Structure 1
């Protein structure tokens, strides 16, 4: 049995698209960054904590016949050393988009698979290049509401695609779940259960 420890509709869609059977149960955690915590360590820690929190709720349901795996994920956008999570409001979204305009930034997704045998985790990194975005375009995009629940205040699969001439790495990572890395991590967790 696989549980996705995330409320993200994008992660749900991507995992379904990959042909994986799962249920969804969000972990409600404090997602504040620790002092001096590096971006990769931050997303990896949150992915692990989310998966462990949901695992703890269902540990009694784990059985040899239907072993439990909980998948956690967390994504952050990093530009000029700044970690950009989901914007707090429209002004914050505008600030983030101005920071990304005309630059290349990194999208990091931490993944964790928790089983009775322990934790397997990874961090996937994709470089994303933005064209220069004019203030009027930013205002129009923010007014659409699309950037308000997205890390870095944009959705590569949405309107913001018009500003992205290239990426280096996994496209699905930027959407919110690097599929190939996720499938490999789940296979590793399953193999660990069999040993």
Structure 2
């Protein structure tokens, strides 16, 4: 899909508004050369003020992109393209944010165990003259895990 314009993209300063090695790897796997600049946007938007989880993740992703674009431009390093994303997990129409501590992680993982949940990822791609926003939604069936497995997983630090 990108093949016809790859030569153009290789000449662009593309910035990922995230510190996620996984997101960087995904972009590199499709042939993009990106630099990482984690957003400093304080993720404090109220999900209840949006019509849908999709609107919420797209707006959060947009704010991340705008913060990075503005910061880099003010430093004289204005990017050609900024890509940002935000992901939330929802269960029973409730957003699960990042757990603040091990107890919260335990509660969340216990609620996910053996159940289906929905993951929303909002993506924003912003160039100098255009902004594209979209959301991907995935239904995920989480396998059943027992208390020892949950504690072992939390001990890895990954849920945090």
CA distance in 2, matches of 1:140, 1:127: 25
Deviation per CA, 1:38-90: give whole Å up to 9, x if none. Answer: 3212211111111111112344655xxxx701001111111111111211111
1:35–1:83: structure 2 CA closer, same or farther, 3 Å change rule?
A: closer
Report if the CA contact (8 A) 1:5-1:54 is conserved.
yes
Report if the CA contact (8 A) 2:40-2:68 is conserved.
no
Normalization by structure 1: what TM-score?
0.68
Report the RMSD for the aligned CA atoms in angstroms.
1.7
The residue number in structure 2 matching 1:137 is 149
Q: Report 1:162-173 matches (<5 A).
A: none
CA distance in 2, matches of 1:61, 1:32: 27
Deviation per CA, 1:130-169: give whole Å up to 9, x if none. Answer: 1222112111211222222xxxxxxxxxxxxxxxxxxxxx
Q: Report 1:86-105 matches (<5 A).
A: 86-105=98-117
Larger proportion of helix: 1
Report if the CA contact (8 A) 1:61-1:68 is conserved.
no
Q: Does 1:68 align with 2:80?
A: yes
The residue number in structure 1 matching 2:44 is 32
Q: Does 1:41 align with 2:51?
A: no
| Structure 2 unaligned blocks of 5 or more | 1-12
Query: Stretches of 4+ moved more than 6 A in 1?
Result: none
